[in-house]
């Protein structure tokens, strides 16, 4: 099966009736995803896109049995929305919102600690298992069902990897964006553990970038687990100047840490195959599968 989501996933949209949430929900419904409701305080009892609206996540979850929530609200309200979903016991929370203050995300991480909830994002393109479920802002094409797991900090580079693995006939079991912010939910290590345990995933692509320690932690996991599945990695920002943010809020190397060269070295030592260019991710995976 795919990781985290499948055909049975029942999705709730926090912020439904907003323009972005409406567009996301429409695409999800068109793809066959089971969208069971929306949360919009003050509009409970109404309907939008032919699904019921509720005033709170707790009320919506009790009424619909939702087990995944998409947080599509403005940055100033996003932390409260995520914490509300955690307190309602939502198993999976996907936040696509950008520019959430770091201290707000610290509060979200505190709420997540010890809970049964997993958070993807924020500043994430979401998660998709082609033909099964999609929660996010990713394009409809060129995702195709297959057996490659993709976890990425960058949406654009993830879409490139999706296009290549689709074109080569490998397809994707699940593709998800861990987000480009310095404080976020699921990490590369979390994704790796799930992909390595998934019988329907034959290989894993990790797309990282400068800043943070997610890639080094993933490398430590690979050294410990020594998986039989190939792991291909691409790290953006080899030539990025230190102490300068390059795009995402989390793409900055400080105090001699978080630079791309060190991440590449750690992953190489751990046995990952390093793609030299984003255009070579698919071919690197194809060759790694042949060598396994």
**Which of the residues are catalytic?**
248
Other residues' Cβ atoms within 10 Å of the Cβ of residue 239: 8
Q: Return phi, psi of residue 64, to 5°.
A: -115, -15
- Do residues 8 and 34 make contact, with C-beta atoms less than 8 angstroms apart? yes
Strand, coil or helix: 87? helix
Residues 6+ apart with CB under 8 A from 224: none
Burial 24-54 (b: 16+ CB within 10 A, else e): bbebbbebebbbbbbbbeeeeeeebbebbbb
Q: What share of the chain is helix, strand, coil (3-state, %, to 5)?
A: 35, 25, 40
CB 173 within 8 A of CB 148: yes
- For residue 176, is it left (φ>0), alpha (ψ between -120 and 50) or beta? beta
Integer CA distances (angstroms), 194 to 80, 173, 291, in order: 28, 12, 23
């Amino acid at each position: 099966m795919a990781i985290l989501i499948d055909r049975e996933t029942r999705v709730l949209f926090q912020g439904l009736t907003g323009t972005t949430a409406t567009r996301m929900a429409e695409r999800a419904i068109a793809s066959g995803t089971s969208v069971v409701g929306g949360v919009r305080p003050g509009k409970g009892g109404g309907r939008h896109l032919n699904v019921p609206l509720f005033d709170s996540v707790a009320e919506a979850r009790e009424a619909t049995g939702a087990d995944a929530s998409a947080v599509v609200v403005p940055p100033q309200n996003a932390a409260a929305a995520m914490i509300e979903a955690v307190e309602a016991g939502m198993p999976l929370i996907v936040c696509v919102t950008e520019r959430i203050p770091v201290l707000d995300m610290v509060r979200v991480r505190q709420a997540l600690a010890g809970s049964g909830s997993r958070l993807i994002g924020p500043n994430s393109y979401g998660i998709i298992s082609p033909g099964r479920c999609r929660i996010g802002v990713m394009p409809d094409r060129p995702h195709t069902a297959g057996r490659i797991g993709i976890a990425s900090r960058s949406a654009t580079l993830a879409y490139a990897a999706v296009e290549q693995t689709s074109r080569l006939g490998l397809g994707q079991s699940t593709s998800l964006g861990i987000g480009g912010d310095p404080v976020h939910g699921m990490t590369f290590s979390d994704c790796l553990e799930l992909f390595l345990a998934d019988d329907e995933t034959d290989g894993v692509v990790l797309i990282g970038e400068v800043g943070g320690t997610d890639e080094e932690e993933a490398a430590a996991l690979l050294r410990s687990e020594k998986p039989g599945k190939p792991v291909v990695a691409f790290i953006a920002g080899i030539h990025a100047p230190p102490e300068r943010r390059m795009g995402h809020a989390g793409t900055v190397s400080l105090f001699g840490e978080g630079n791309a060269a060190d991440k590449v070295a750690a992953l190489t030592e751990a046995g990952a195959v390093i793609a030299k260019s984003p255009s070579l991710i698919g071919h690197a995976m194809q060759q790694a599968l042949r060598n396994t």
